[in-house]
């Protein structure tokens, strides 16, 4: 039996825009986020409080949070890599933050210039400080299905890191197929291993669609009872420190499949397409989302 209701956790403004060569003006980012809220999205990762040297596209995080409309019931989150990022997120009025680490050493070094052990210690420190300040903390684990530098990532290591993050007090752990190499059987194996140690509502899936398997992997998750799926408007996304990473599972594709299977998301698909059209106009090229292109072509 499938869950009756799931959350689509929108990452387009963060995962999508961090990966565009051109930095969007702050007012355009705010316009896109407002359109996502108007479509009924309730959980949106709006930006990152990371080093502007590493991700210049998101250097306007403070200004963006001033410009974007806040609405009760809509939770904005942002990536924080360290205590400095947490302080910035807190000052900007966020009630939720996301820590992020990798399951492979090489990606960890390239992405945040830390070993996995250093990154884990940092994530624990940030989580403790955030919870003390009354914030909720989400956690990401990248390269779970494979690493662009190292290839195979052992599932035992994934389980070990996930358990430590959950013990540290994150409320949800988002498993990243950073470069979109996962296939459904592997997804089943990873979930089976993790579900021996944590309840299913602790887990979210963050699937990049590089090789067209994101929706199939999401379906495996849904069947296993996962109720949070990360997705990005129009299928934007990628990681600048993971060569070859393409966009995330498109929000419209996820919502279309879920609604068609009788699973509620609280999102208005027509309005989501309007937001996708805005994203496409602002970015200035055709986006990869399949449902979006089908709807715009009608």
Residue 15 sits in the site that holds Mg ion (CB under 5 A): yes
Q: Is 147 a catalytic residue?
A: no
- Of the pair 239, 269, the CB lying nearest ligand HMG is at 239
- Residues binding ligand HMG: number (CB under 6 A): 27
Single out the residue of 3, 85, 148, 234 in contact with ligand HMG (rule: CB under 6 A): 85
CB 143 within 8 A of CB 105: no
Catalytic member of 32, 58, 116, 239: 239
Residue 142 sits in the site that holds ligand HMG (CB under 6 A): yes
Q: What does the block give as tokens for 233?
A: 């408007």
85 binds, among ligand HMG, Mg ion, none (CB under 5 to 8 A by kind): ligand HMG
Residue 178 sits in the site that holds ligand HMG (CB under 6 A): yes
Residue 286 sits in the site that holds ligand HMG (CB under 6 A): no
- Residues binding Mg ion: number (CB under 5 A): 1
**For residues 234-253, which are near ligand HMG according to CB under 6 A?**
239, 241
- Of the pair 172, 293, the CB lying nearest ligand HMG is at 172
CB 116 within 8 A of CB 102: yes
Tell me how far, at minimum, the Cβ of 169 lies from ligand HMG, in Å: 19
Please choose, out of 82-90, 155-163, 180-188, 289-297, the segment that lies near ligand HMG by the rule CB under 6 A.
82-90
Give the interface with ligand HMG as residue ranges (CB under 6 A): 15, 18, 48-51, 53-55, 79, 81-82, 84-85, 88, 100, 111-113, 140, 142, 176, 178, 206, 208, 239, 241
Give the interface with Mg ion as residue ranges (CB under 5 A): 15
Active site residues: 239
């Amino acid at each position: 039996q499938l869950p009756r209701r799931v959350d689509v956790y929108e990452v387009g403004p963060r995962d999508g825009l961090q990966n565009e060569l051109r930095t969007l003006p702050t007012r355009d980012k705010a316009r896109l986020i407002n359109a996502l809220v108007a479509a009924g999205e309730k959980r949106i990762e709006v930006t990152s409080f990371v080093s502007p040297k590493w991700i210049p596209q998101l250097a306007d995080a403070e200004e963006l949070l001033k410009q974007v409309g806040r609405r009760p019931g809509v939770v904005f989150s942002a990536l924080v890599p360290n205590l400095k990022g947490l302080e910035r997120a807190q000052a900007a009025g966020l009630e939720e933050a996301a820590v992020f680490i990798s399951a492979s050493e090489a990606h960890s070094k390239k992405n945040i210039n830390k070993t996995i052990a250093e990154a884990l210690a940092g994530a624990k420190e940030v989580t403790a400080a955030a919870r003390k300040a009354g914030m909720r903390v989400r956690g990401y684990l990248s390269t779970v299905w494979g690493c662009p530098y190292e290839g195979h990532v052992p599932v035992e290591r994934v389980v070990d890191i996930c358990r430590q993050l959950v013990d540290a007090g994150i409320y949800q752990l988002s498993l990243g197929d950073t470069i979109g190499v996962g296939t459904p059987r592997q997804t089943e194996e990873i979930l089976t291993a993790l579900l021996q140690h944590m309840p299913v509502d602790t887990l979210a899936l963050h699937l990049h669609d590089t090789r067209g398997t994101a929706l199939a992997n999401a379906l495996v998750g849904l069947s296993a009872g996962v109720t949070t799926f990360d997705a990005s408007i129009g299928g934007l996304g990628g990681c600048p420190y993971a060569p070859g990473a393409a966009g995330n599972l498109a929000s419209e594709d996820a919502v279309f499949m879920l609604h068609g299977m009788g699973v509620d998301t609280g999102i208005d698909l027509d309005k989501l397409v309007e937001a996708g059209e805005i994203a496409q106009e602002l970015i200035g090229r055709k986006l990869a989302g399949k449902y979006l292109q089908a709807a715009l072509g009608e």
